Structure 1
């Protein structure tokens, strides 16, 4: 299981996004950003998504 706290990464987001893979966490983060009005996901934002995604201990 992986998670990303989107506070500080996506403006206005206060969720913790969890999924079974890092790719799914990032996909959900992109959807969340779009729902919050982010029109363009920049390469820098994608890097922030990757850096903020962590693996939870089993």
Structure 2
């Protein structure tokens, strides 16, 4: 069974990947900022799916 997975390779994994982790965090921050800005925009502030909507009506699904 040990030969099934092949030879072990003991090389660094997280250390050379740090630029990808950092860029992923930057992208997630940007998406979050854009979503927050869209929720407060005039075009979407009255959307019933908006969690920041001021006067929620009794919409039953």
Same fold judged by TM-score > 0.5? no
Q: Which has the larger radius of gyration?
A: 2
Structure with greater proportional strand content: 1
TM-score between both structures, scaled by the size of structure 2:
0.28
